[in-house]
A and B are shown apart, each in its own frame.
Chain A
Amino acid sequence: MPGKVYEDMASKEARYENLVNAYSPWLYRYAYWLSGEKSAAEDLVQETFLRAWRFLDSLKDEAAAKSWLTTILRRENARLYERKRLQYSDVDMDSISSETKDFDARPEVSALRIALKGLQDKYREPLVLQVLEGYTLNEIAQMFELPSNTVATRLHRARQKLRAVLQGDESENRKRR
């Protein structure tokens, strides 16, 4: 019997390791945009995977792993960081510019990154899921437990705001020239 226990444990560990290797980068990026801080993002992902380990047996379909982990992370974020997370509007722009080694430093991308940080959570979150990970509108709606139309409106507004930033950036450049 102990042999069987260790076999099951080894199989669980292998499964878990695969999940961590496959999804930790994505979860870290998502956590960063949820929490707004690198250290908070790390903590969030750690907590997410600890919880995932505890409830790994409840994940029956490996294909659903990514959205399962994403849901855990969103809940962890709500639980742990909702009250104390940084307000993006208060983010010091110098700290953003000092992060260039971690980000694409092209001017238009930097402008977008600042604009993304300034977006309200309800606009930024679905956009991150759609653009970074290719979640469909319906999948996001299901995850957020919102009607598809509501999510569509949020994505529409998020892109409009960011488009305006880029257009403003272009017109600024034209003026300078």
Chain B
Amino acid sequence: MNCLEFRQLKLSDPYCISEEADLHQSGCSNCSKFEREIRGLDDSIRSALTVAVPEGFAAKVLLNQSLQSHPRRPKRWYWLSLAASFLLAVILYQFLPGTLEEDIFSHMEYEQVHDLPGDISEEEVRKVLYAVRGDVDSTLGKVTFASICFVNNQLAAHFVVEDGDERYTLMIIPKEIDHQLPFQNDRWRGLIIPHATGSLAIIAGVQSEFTPDLLRVAERYGDSIKRITI
């Protein structure tokens, strides 16, 4: 090994163990001095490179990992938050609009319990209609049930009307539709039609011997109700 090779080696890898290099160094005072200089240089470089590590850094790293990827063990807060989430889901489900027909059927169930025999006065009918910006233009006939309710999260007017032997449920719903919408389940069948107040639904029981023309009935009641400007 000559002086050039020795210096190249020491500049690229001062800590390399090489018999050849040791042999050369022992016989060459200049290279021996160079080797000491490079070791001194490396000591200074090491000092220059040494950066103070922030206090508690390892703990911070561990905490970060714990927060981001620690498996959640079922503790008390976990079950509480789970229960709260479930409750929230139930509440949201209650208020989330289902389909219009589903909503109407649920009101039919309510009506079965609360529709008591007896006539509702025209004044009472007007009050209920007023809630949906409606009024009677001509009489609705016999009304046995009148209530303000929520359909699709909007105020709606819910009536039970009688026409001869037939009994219908009539609902005035602010939701606007642009086409007729027939619907049915195993107990009721109905039809929703566009109306000046939004839409009008007429519902009859499917067990009835008489199969009414729901469109004709809906249009007749629709003509009796007008929209008012408040």
Contacts and interface: CB of A to CB of B under 8 A. Distances in A.
Nearest to A32: B51
Contacts of A33: 49, 51
B12 A46 contact: no
Q: Which of A42, A151, A160 has the most CB of B within 10 A?
A: A42
A72 interface: no
B65 A29 contact: no
Interface of B is mostly: helix
Given A127-B45, A128-B49, A156-B8, A9 B57 contact: no
Interface stretch (A18-26, A57-65, A76-84): A18-26
B53 interface: yes
A17 B62 contact: yes
Interface residues of B, number: 31
A46 B52 contact: no
B50 interface: yes
A147 B37 CA distance: 27
Contact of B16 (A17, A113, A137): A137
A40 interface: no
A145 interface: no
Interface of A is mostly: helix
Contacts of B16: 136-137
A28 B69 contact: no
A104 interface: yes
A16 interface: yes
A131 B45 contact: yes
A118 interface: no
Given A49-B65, A156-B11, A160-B11, A102 B51 contact: yes
B198 to A, nearest CB: 55
Q: Which of A28, A33, A155 has the most CB of B within 10 A?
A: A28
Nearest to A22: B58
B64 A155 contact: no
A162 B41 contact: yes
B53 A162 contact: no
A87 to B, nearest CB: 19
A88 interface: no
Given A103-B50, A113-B48, A116-B49, A24 B57 contact: yes
B13 A112 contact: no
Contacts of A112: 44-45, 47-48
Nearest to B7: A156
Interface string B179-217: 000000000000000000000000000000000000000
A106 B43 CA distance: 13
22 contacts: A16-B62, A20-B58, A25-B53, A25-B57, A29-B50, A29-B53, A33-B49, A53-B65, A54-B69, A104-B50, A108-B44, A113-B49, A132-B49, A137-B12, A137-B13, A151-B12, A152-B12, A155-B13, A159-B12, A159-B42, A160-B11, A163-B41
Given A28-B53, A132-B50, A162-B41, 16 more contacts: A24-B53, A25-B53, A29-B49, A41-B51, A50-B69, A101-B52, A103-B50, A104-B48, A108-B44, A109-B48, A112-B45, A113-B49, A116-B49, A156-B11, A159-B11, A163-B37
Interface of B: 8, 11-13, 15-16, 37-38, 41-42, 44-54, 57-58, 60-62, 64-65, 68-69, 71
